[in-house]
Amino acid sequence: MKELKLYLYNLIPSGAVGIIIAIFVHTFINPSTPIYILFIMYFLIGTVVGTVTAMSFNFAIYKTSSVKIAFLSAFLGIGVSVFFINILFRTHCTHGWGASLIIIAIAEIFGMIITYSSYRYYININNKLEKRKKDFSGQNR
């Protein structure tokens, strides 16, 4: 149950980024598509991109123990995922590369905000656990 809660901590904000992108797409790129279809589609895409980003960040932290490399892997994970989704939906063909780059920029900005807040959340948890560990080891002496 704890893993599901932690997964939702990443999943819901990532889906919200997808909804922000859906609003942008509906407002500026394709107003003829019903908004609820865009919301569902981009929410799901946001959750997939968020999952890929979290996995790449966690893998980089686990393998290298370097925060800079982990953030770089998250940045690349977001950019590459959204780029391939734009290619898959042929956004660059129908609306030009400018629209695709704006979508990627929106996803990068909000995705990195989510990545950083998630990183800070886990740092706080680790600090609390370290404090409890020190308190517990001090009581046993």
pLDDT, tens only, 6-59: 788 888 999 999 999 999 989 988 889 899 999 999 999 999 988 888 888 888
- Is residue 140 in some structural domain? no
Domain that holds residue 48: 2-134
- Is residue 139 in some structural domain? no
The total of structural domains in the chain comes to 1
Q: Which of 119, 141, 127, 118 is nearest to 8 (CA)?
A: 118
- Is residue 141 in some structural domain? no
Q: Which of 55, 63, 43, 39 is nearest to 115 (CA)?
A: 55
- Is residue 7 in some structural domain? yes
Tokens 């919200």 appear where?
Answer: 16
pTM, two decimal places = 0.79
pLDDT at 86: 86
